[in-house]
Amino acid sequence: PPSAPIQSRGSVNFTDFLLQGARRHPDAVAIVEGDRPIRFDALEHGVLAVEAALRDAGLGPGTVVGLASKHVSVHLILTLAVARLGGTTMPMPSGPTLAERLAPLRRAGAAVLIGERTMRDGEDAAFEGLRYIAADESLLAGRTSAKPGARGEDVGDRPWRLTATSGTTGAPKLIAISHERALTLYMLQQGFLPFGGPGTRLFCAIGLD
C-alpha cells in the first residue's frame, strides 16, 4: 500500500533536476496562467518557501498529502515543495459529496489536506482526522525559503505522486509515480515534445489535478 514504508534504492529527488533548470534560466517564463506570467526564479522561490513552511509544520518523508487546488501555479508549487520533502501528493478527486472526495485520499493513507481557502470556524470536523493546511498568506508568515541550491530529500524510488484510475471497471486503483520514473519519463519525452529551446511555449489542456 502507498502508506507503507518504501525503501530508497538511490540518491535522487527529481525536483533538484527541475530547479537546476530554473537557475540556468531565471528570467525565462515558466508558467502563464491566465494573463499572469510566472518566471522561473519566482517559481523556485515559491517552491523553496513553501517547502520550508511545510517542514516547519511537521511534514516530511513518507507524508501523503491531498491537494485541493485548481490553480496551476499553486498546485505546481505545492506538489514540488512536498516532493522535495520526500512526501507524496494526491489530487483530491471529484465527487458529489465531501465524503466521496476524501475516500480515495484516506485509502491512500493521506494524513494532510492542503487547500486554497482558509478554514471557517467549525469546519475542521468535516475532514474527520485529516489535518487541513490552508495555502494562503499565513502559510508563509514568518518563514524564509530554503537556501537556493539545497538538495531535496534523497528518496530514490519513493513515490512523489499518487493518482487514481477512472474506476469504470470497478473500484479506482491507485497508481504511484516515483522520482526515478519521473526522470525516466522526462528523458523519454524529449524525443517527441516540440521543444525548440528557451522561449518555447506549450499549451497544456489537462489540469494538474
> In the chain, what percentage of residues exceed pLDDT 70?
85
Helices (H), the chain: 14-24, 40-56, 72-84, 98-107, 137-140, 179-189
> For residue 83, what pLDDT band results from cuts at 50, 70 and 90?
very high
Residue 155 clears pLDDT 70, i.e. is over it: yes
Classify 82 as helix, strand or coil: helix
More confident residue, 93 or 87: 87
Residue 162 clears pLDDT 50, i.e. is over it: yes
pLDDT tens readout for residues 29-54? 999 988 889 999 999 999 999 999 99
Whether the CB-CB separation of 24 and 189 falls below 8 Å is answered with no
pLDDT tens readout for residues 104-147? 899 899 999 998 877 666 566 567 778 999 888 778 776 766 66
- Give residue for cell 528523458: 187
> For residue 17, what pLDDT band results from cuts at 50, 70 and 90?
confident
More confident residue, 97 or 124: 97
Look at the pTM and tell me if it is higher than 0.75. Answer: yes
Whether the CB-CB separation of 182 and 162 falls below 8 Å is answered with no
Torsion sign, CA atoms 181, 186, 187, 189: positive
Stretch 67-88: mean pLDDT: 92
Stretch 195-207: mean pLDDT: 79
Nearest Cα residue to 24 out of 38, 44, 50: 44
- Amino acid 149: pLDDT: 67
